[in-house]
Chain A
């Protein structure tokens, strides 16, 4: 496959055809997967979870990013800290559960004990010349964007996180993640490369034919269409949607709710896009009746018809923020042909299951949509494995955001590989 002696990955990157899907090795090659883990997941801000994952001091979660395991812990000052999950004694993994509560961080092997700042505070039998101060846990860069937790494994993380936080903060803040709880969490293992999972998310070309539930509240028009191919009815719908966006944005922005699109998908190292999208029907939430799923609204909201704020980050997340609940998605590569998609549904922390919200109703649309997307990503991976596969053209009307994802990806790879 990679039979050229001169850095075949560089050649593949350089020869990538704009506007087309990637060459097959990008989806199937273990070597490129390893490069992805090192250059993309090892050097960028990776979305891993939400502050309600670690709501109280001592709450810890472990996050696997490729071969890395990271401890994310809430400290006694309510700050978020992150450390490599590797004991400084002989390197044993320290925490083993995805979620746990600790007093201090203790390695069970020989009871080396670290406080929540990572400092080694107890290590028996190490002798008088042993300097504990040199044996703290190794830190991992961690940032919270209004409650969304991002990690960066690099020594020097990309410097533009703050720019994203400055632009995105006002959009996310009204949804008050700090005062939510995780009502439900699901892991789905998709049989496809992580980039296919992301590409699938970055378009709604496939929505009409594959997502009967999602397309009840969601207008596929929000992600583009080819106007000259539409019939009378479609054009009227698109027209209606355009008016709805204009009116809604005016309404929402007037009430202090940032809504207009910001698109930095391939113009930033820490690429992102956002827009508050109107929803169909009652316009309240991603539910089958398009109404709020939870009676307890988030933050200061007094009404629920704020549509759904869409937020994407490169390389691995997307999110929908509504007035009553939030659905957040974290994509984590497993190997070249396998990807874990972790979905969390957040509701107000005081909302009571069965009283304020019905769990089935809350999770129905995205559970169905995830299953459908998982099948589609699997098909794409199967096709990419065939010798008959060749990069195919993206629709300029409905897949321009997929193109932006690929452009970001090859750009970041090129930047780290050197052209």
Chain B
């Protein structure tokens, strides 16, 4: 319908929609940041485009390997594509800011629209398309949501009526990534079901849904036919391990269980630490209630997490210094409850006998009341 004059006024976006050759990181590894979007208080999505008129082709669940130039040092990091291949003009990665994580902090603080990064890929075998099934169960923990989101978005964009139960485990309602989009998908599609579970309330929202660790009874409530589903799991290693054990114990056919794992050994020490730190915050066991009697604050403390750490995450500041059980700065009275305490001389057995504990290295084994 366009006449010759109209061509001069054409919006450049029109050209983008004409498509183009498939982007190949081997021949041109530069991607341009087009936008940065906030997902949660500590998760951002970075939208990336090729420099030339190319389009992306990949399987949902695959990842790109990036090379970031951070303080003059080239650091490599894999990020799963969170966007769907049904929208080929851009790819997005969705990154949680990890305390002490050099890459995630650099991305959050420095990657702005217009900046470029190097990437190769896509790569990876973790995709529902490699295991066709009528019914899927997606189990995601924390930022492990990204490959499963890519899969869910793909089916949704294609209006493909696969029966999908999408489960996401988060720290608090404020940490549920893509929450409104998943709720919208569930509302629009009868075959898409979304269930979230949280380990704690967030400051602005009390959580009324599933709480704590993913258990079999919980799974039955979410999808009573879960045994018949193809299961895809992605999340922190302990989360995946717990799920694996739970499914195996329940007699699930483990050939139909798939999990995303990346080669941890390839990461630098600092990155490994950052990953471990990120993983430490995921609910992989029981969650205990910890009440601070003086300030009347209540937090949830997952099994295996020191009380001080859980308090910090919940924004409750307590006196502390070494966080190693040496200095006793966090010494507090345990009014009720039991903890496992591995300290380094910062407290005496007599003090423990008298009801004192070191919050930095006390891991709850029951609900607690702490005099603070």
Contact = CB atoms under 8 A, between A and B. Distances in A.
A111 B348 contact: no
Interface in B292-350: 321-322, 324, 326-329, 331, 343, 345-348, 350
Contacts, number: 48
Contact of B345 (A101, A108, A115): A115
A15 to B, nearest CB: 56
Contacts of B348: 56-58, 101-103
Interface string A233-276: 00000000000000000000000000000000000000000000
Interface string A100-144: 011110101011010100000110100000000000000000000
A102 B328 contact: yes
Contacts of B346: 103-104, 106, 113
A113 B327 CA distance: 6
Nearest to A115: B345
B351 interface: yes
Majority SS at the chain B contact face: loop
Contact of A111 (B329, B343, B350): B329
Interface in B73-105: none
Nearest to A111: B321
Interface in A315-359: none
Contacts of B326: 104, 113, 121-122
Interface string A51-67: 00000111000000000
A103 B321 contact: no
A56 B348 CA distance: 10
Given A101-B350, A102-B328, A103-B351, A111 B345 contact: no
Given A111-B321, A113-B322, A106 B350 contact: no
Given A106-B329, A111-B329, A115-B345, A122 B324 contact: yes
Contacts of B328: 102-104, 106, 113
A124 B321 contact: yes
Interface string B350-364: 110000000000000
A221 B235 CA distance: 89
B100 to A, nearest CB: 15
B347 A103 contact: yes
Interface of A: 56-58, 101-104, 106, 108, 110-111, 113, 115, 121-122, 124
Interface of B: 321-322, 324, 326-329, 331, 343, 345-348, 350-351
22 contacts: A56-B348, A58-B348, A58-B350, A101-B351, A103-B328, A103-B343, A103-B345, A104-B327, A104-B328, A104-B345, A106-B327, A106-B329, A111-B321, A113-B322, A113-B326, A121-B326, A122-B321, A122-B322, A122-B324, A122-B326, A122-B327, A124-B321
